[in-house]
Chain A
Amino acid sequence: VLVIRRRAGESLLIGDDVEVVILETGSSQVKLGIRAPKEITVLRKEIHLTRQQNRVASSEVSAAAMNRLLDTLR
């Protein structure tokens, strides 16, 4: 993992087209601004994980799997 120290108002580039600006820093949060071409999706990682998991969750569930589920929840 590349580690870079930056202060509020400074920025970094990812490739030629993506710029991440440090807007504000606090004790437990930083506020970032991201400038990127339209075709690049910028998402919180939690949303990305939930997207992927929703695709898994939307697949058909067999009777056997349903029984295993009920075993765990009843």
Chain B
Amino acid sequence: LLSGSPVEQILTRQFGALEFEAAAVLEFPAGLPGFEDQTRFVLVEQPATAPVVFLQSLLSPELCFLAAPMVAVDPGYDLAVTPEDLRLIELDDQRQPRPGDEVVCLALLSAAEDGPLTANLLAPVVVNVRTRRAIQAVRVDSRYSHVHPLATRGASCS
């Protein structure tokens, strides 16, 4: 959290009363696919669940996605954001942004009770670090899956 900006509070399903600073809000001008009206989120990090982070909607208290830094899911991930999407989050549309420096890159995770553990590598969440504008940038190629399986470490691979 940055200091000096006004603190707001929202009552969430996942965290109860959640305080956040206005400067920490992520603006998703296009929402997320399937959730086009959800344009304001905050990222909640908790030591107990690191590296998993929570993408909590500020417009729907019950809506919270799980995410992980792309580097934790696929260290070799090759970012490919379309020029239109880059413009939407106020980045140079002539080249790919540098993860870590210019953008934070996250994969949304699925962990349904009766389903497999997967990460959406087809559509990473990309956040402009400078302006806090963000987008779920759906790729136009088919190099990565929307249901990339997360394998348990230490499992034998043969």
Known: A55-B34, A56-B115, A69-B66. A50 touches B122 (CB 8 A): yes
Q: Main secondary structure on chain B at its contact with chain A?
A: loop
Interface size class of B (residues with CB under 8 A): 35 or more
* CB pair A74 B109 closer than 8 Å: no
Give the Cβ gap from A29 to chain B, nearest Cβ, in Å. 9
Q: Which residues of A contact B142 (CB under 8 A)?
A: 46
* CB pair A66 B49 closer than 8 Å: yes
Quick one: which of A39-74 are within 8 Å of B by CB? 44, 46-47, 49-62, 65-66, 68-74
Q: Which residues of B contact A44 (CB under 8 A)?
A: 138, 140
Partner of A61 from B66, B140, B146 at Cβ < 8 Å: B66
Which of chain B's residues has its CB closest to A57's CB? Answer: B110
* CB pair A57 B66 closer than 8 Å: yes
Tell me, yes or no, whether B2 is within 8 Å of chain A by CB: no
